[in-house]
C-alpha cells in the first residue's frame, strides 16, 4: 500500500481531489519500467493503464507490424491506454518505454469502472485526451511538413519537459524510431544542432545546452502544443 501523504508525481492523479486519490490508491501499483520495454502491442488487449511518474513512454504507430513513427510522448502529464476510458479494450498504438523510470499502474478493467463512476476522474482524463488528440494531430502535420532538424529539436524539448531535466538518455536509433526517419538522418540533424551549440551528446546521453536556442530551432509545433497547455 502506498503512503498517501507523499507528493504525487503524476499530474493527472495529483489533480484529483485528495479524497478521490486516496480512494483509488489501493488499486494503484508502483512499477519500474525499463527503456525499450513494450507495455502494449498495437491491436492487443489492454491489461493496464499507466500513469508515468519518472518514466517516459511513447505511442508508436505501425504498418504491417513495422514501426512507422511515434504520434505522442506520454510522461508525468499523462496516462496511457485512454482507449479504456473511451470504451475500447484495444490499443491502437504500440506503447514503448522511452526512458526508464517509475510509473503507477492500474488494471484496465478497474480503470474503466472508475472512469464511469467518478466524475472528477472523468474530467481530468478527458482534459488529457484533448491534449493527446492535439499532440497526435500536431505530429501528423509536423511529420508532413517539417524537416528533420526542427522535428528533432521539438521532440528533444518535449522529452526535456516531461522528464524535467536537460540531461537524458536517448540513442540516435531510438530517435530515428520516434521520428520515422533513417538513422543517418538523425545523426546529421543531431550533429547540426550540436554545431549550433544547442545540444551535446555522447553515447546516447543527451544534454540540452541552450534551451532557448533549441526552442528557436524547433518547428512551430513545439510552441503550438506547449503554448496552449503550458509545459508538461
Residues that bind another protein (CB under 8 A): 45-47, 61, 63-64, 68-69, 71, 82-83, 85-89, 92-93, 107-109, 112, 116, 119, 122-123, 126-127, 129-130, 132-134, 136-145, 180, 220-221, 223-224, 228
C-alpha of 15 from chain center: 18
Of 18 and 228, nearer to another protein (C-beta) is 228
Tell me which H or E stretch contains 108.
helix 108-117
In the complex, what is the shortest distance from the CB of residue 150 to another protein, in angstroms, rounded to a whole number? 12
In the complex, what is the shortest distance from the CB of residue 144 to another protein, in angstroms, rounded to a whole number? 5
Of 101 and 185, nearer to another protein (C-beta) is 185
Of 7 and 87, nearer to another protein (C-beta) is 87
CA-CA distance, 216 to 114, in Å (whole number)? 42
In the complex, what is the shortest distance from the CB of residue 117 to another protein, in angstroms, rounded to a whole number? 9
Of 171 and 220, nearer to another protein (C-beta) is 220
Residue 213 grid coordinates:
536556442
Tell me which H or E stretch contains 175.
helix 172-179
Of 55 and 181, nearer to another protein (C-beta) is 181
The torsion region of residue 51 among left (phi > 0), alpha (psi -120 to 50) and beta comes to beta
In the complex, what is the shortest distance from the CB of residue 202 to another protein, in angstroms, rounded to a whole number? 31
Neighbours of 90 (CB within 10 A): 14
Q: Virtual CA dihedral for 184, 39, 87, 67, nearest 10 degrees?
A: 20
Any idea what DSSP says for residue 227?
A: H
Residue 231 grid coordinates:
509545459
In the complex, what is the shortest distance from the CB of residue 178 to another protein, in angstroms, rounded to a whole number? 13
Amino acid at each position: 500500500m502506498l503512503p498517501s501523504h507523499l507528493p504525487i508525481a503524476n499530474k493527472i492523479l495529483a489533480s484529483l481531489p485528495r479524497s478521490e486519490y486516496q480512494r483509488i490508491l489501493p488499486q494503484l501499483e508502483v512499477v519500474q519500467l525499463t527503456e525499450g520495454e513494450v507495455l502494449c502491442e498495437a491491436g492487443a488487449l489492454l491489461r493496464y493503464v499507466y500513469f508515468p511518474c519518472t518514466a517516459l513512454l511513447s505511442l508508436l504507430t505501425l504498418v504491417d507490424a513495422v514501426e512507422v513513427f511515434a504520434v505522442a510522448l506520454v510522461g508525468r502529464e499523462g496516462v496511457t491506454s485512454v482507449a479504456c476510458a473511451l470504451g475500447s479494450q484495444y490499443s491502437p498504438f504500440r506503447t514503448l518505454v522511452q526512458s526508464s523510470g517509475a510509473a503507477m499502474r492500474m488494471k484496465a478493467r478497474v480503470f474503466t469502472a472508475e472512469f464511469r463512476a467518478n466524475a472528477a476522474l472523468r474530467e481530468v482524463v478527458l482534459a488529457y485526451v484533448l491534449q493527446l488528440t492535439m499532440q497526435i494531430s500536431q505530429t501528423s502535420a509536423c511529420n508532413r511538413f517539417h524537416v528533420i532538424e526542427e522535428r528533432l529539436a521539438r521532440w528533444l524539448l518535449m522529452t526535456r519537459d516531461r522528464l524535467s531535466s536537460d540531461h537524458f538518455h536517448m540513442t540516435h536509433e531510438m530517435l530515428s524510431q520516434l521520428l520515422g526517419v533513417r538513422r543517418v538522418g538523425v545523426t546529421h540533424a543531431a550533429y547540426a544542432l550540436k554545431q549550433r551549440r544547442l545540444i551535446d551528446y555522447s553515447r546516447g546521453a543527451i544534454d540540452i545546452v541552450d534551451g532557448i536556442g533549441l526552442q528557436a530551432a524547433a518547428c512551430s509545433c513545439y510552441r503550438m502544443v506547449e503554448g496552449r497547455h503550458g509545459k508538461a
